Amino acid sequence: MACSAERRKHMMMIRSLFFAPANRADLVAKFPRFTADCYVVDLEDGTPLAEKERARAGLAALVAAARKQLVGGLLTVRVNEPESDQYLEDLNAALRADVDGIVIPKLEKVEQLYPALHLMRRLDRDTPLAVPRFIVVGVESIAGVTNSAALCAAHPAIAAVYFGAEDLASDLGARRTASSAEVAYARSRVLLHAKAARILALDQAVLEIRDDNHFEGDATMGRDMGYDGKICLLPRQLDVANRVFSPSEVELEHARRLIARYEEAMARGIGTIDFEGKMVDGPLLKRAQRIVGFADVLAARGKK
C-alpha cells in the first residue's frame, strides 16, 4: 500500500474541504452543485448524538447516491474522535462505504490511528483497490499540536492534516480574535510538520459565516504561510478558497518568465541571475516550478 499511497499523495490537491452532516441526506445530495476539492460526510460534530446510529446505518447508501450523482471532488467521511464510543463503529461504516478516504478529528496519539490502519489493511487485502484510501487527520488540541510531528509522519496513508483552531482555543482557554494571534504558534507548528512529512496542510475554519472579507483575508494569510487549502463551512466560501489557494495569472506569468530566463542563463553557465530587480537562484526557481506545476494539474483536471 505504501508505494501507491505515496504516488497518490503527490497527485492530490485539496484547496477546499467542505462538510455536510451525515444525517442530512438533502445537504449531501447538493454536493454535485458545488466546487469543493474534497467533500466530507460528517458523522462527528455535524450529526447530533441521537442521530449518529441512524446516520451510520444509512452511510453506505448515502455515499452511493452521491457517487451516482457524479460528485466532482474527493469524497470522504469524518468519523467521531478516537476517544469517543462511536469511533470504531464509525470506522467500520465509513471504510465499508465507497469513499476515497476518511477524516479522523482530534487526533492526539499515533496509537489512535491503529484501528483505522488495521481495518484499511484488512479490507484492502480482501478487496484490493486500484487507488488506496487515504486519511486526513485533524490536529485540534494541545496534545495534538504537541505531537503533530509524529502524527503527520505516522503512516503513508496519511495524505493531509487540518488545523482546528476552535477546539484548540477552547483547550487553551484563549480568546478568539480576528487576527488569530492566539493560535499563531500552533498554526505554524502544524504547517511545518505537515510540510516536513510531505503531506497537505489544510487551514482553520472561519466561524464568521457572514463576513466574506474576513474569510478571504484569513485564507490569504494561510496561503501566505504555506497552507494548501482551507476548511469551508458554506458553499460560497468554496470559490474563494479555490481562488486563493491557486496561482493567480500574475503569479503564473511571472513564474513562467522566471523559469525561461533561468534556463537561458543556465545554458550560458550562469547559476544566479538578476531577474526583474531580484536576485534569483535555485530556491526561487523551485518555487516558480511548483507554481507552474500546480497550474498544469488544475488545467489537466479542468478546474478553476
pLDDT value at residue 276: 79
244-287 pLDDT per residue, tens: 999 999 999 989 988 988 888 878 887 677 777 777 777 888 88
Kindly tell me if the per-residue pLDDT of 4 is higher than 70: no
Per residue in 42-81, pLDDT (tens digit) is: 999 999 999 999 999 999 999 999 999 888 899 999 999 9
**Residue appearing with cell numbers 477546539:** 167
Mean pLDDT on 16-32: 96
Residue 7 has pLDDT above 50, yes or no: no
pLDDT at 94 over 50: yes
Q: What is the mean pLDDT of the chain?
A: 92
In tens, the pLDDT along 128-174 reads 888 899 999 999 999 999 999 999 999 999 999 999 999 999 999 99
Per the CB < 8 A criterion, the answer to whether 135 and 100 are in contact is no
pLDDT exceeds 80 at position 120: yes
Are 257 and 291 in contact by the 8 Å Cβ rule? The answer is no
Number of H helices, E strands in the chain: 14, 10
Give residue-wise pLDDT tens across range 100-109: 999 999 999 9
According to the model, what pLDDT value does residue 285 have?
Answer: 83
- pLDDT at position 190, please? 98
What pLDDT shows up at residue 2? 45
Which distant-in-sequence residues (6+ apart) come within 8 Å of 154 by Cβ? 110, 113
Q: What is the pLDDT of residue 40?
A: 97
d(Cα 52, Cα 22) in Å, to the nearest integer? 8
Q: Are 128 and 159 within 8 A, CB to CB?
A: no
pLDDT at 10 over 70: no
Three-state secondary-structure class, residue 269: coil
pLDDT for position 304? 61
E strands of the chain, at which residues?
Answer: 16-21, 38-42, 74-78, 101-104, 134-139, 158-163, 200-203, 229-232, 273-275, 278-280
Could you read off the pLDDT of 217-251 as tens digits, one per residue? 999 999 999 999 999 999 999 999 999 999 999 99
Q: Who contacts 75 (Cβ-Cβ below 8 Å, separation ≥6)?
A: 31, 38, 39, 41, 63, 66, 67, 98, 99, 100
Q: How confident is the model at residue 1 (pLDDT cuts 50, 70, 90)?
A: very low
Domains of the chain: 2-244 (3.20.20.60), 249-300 (no CATH)
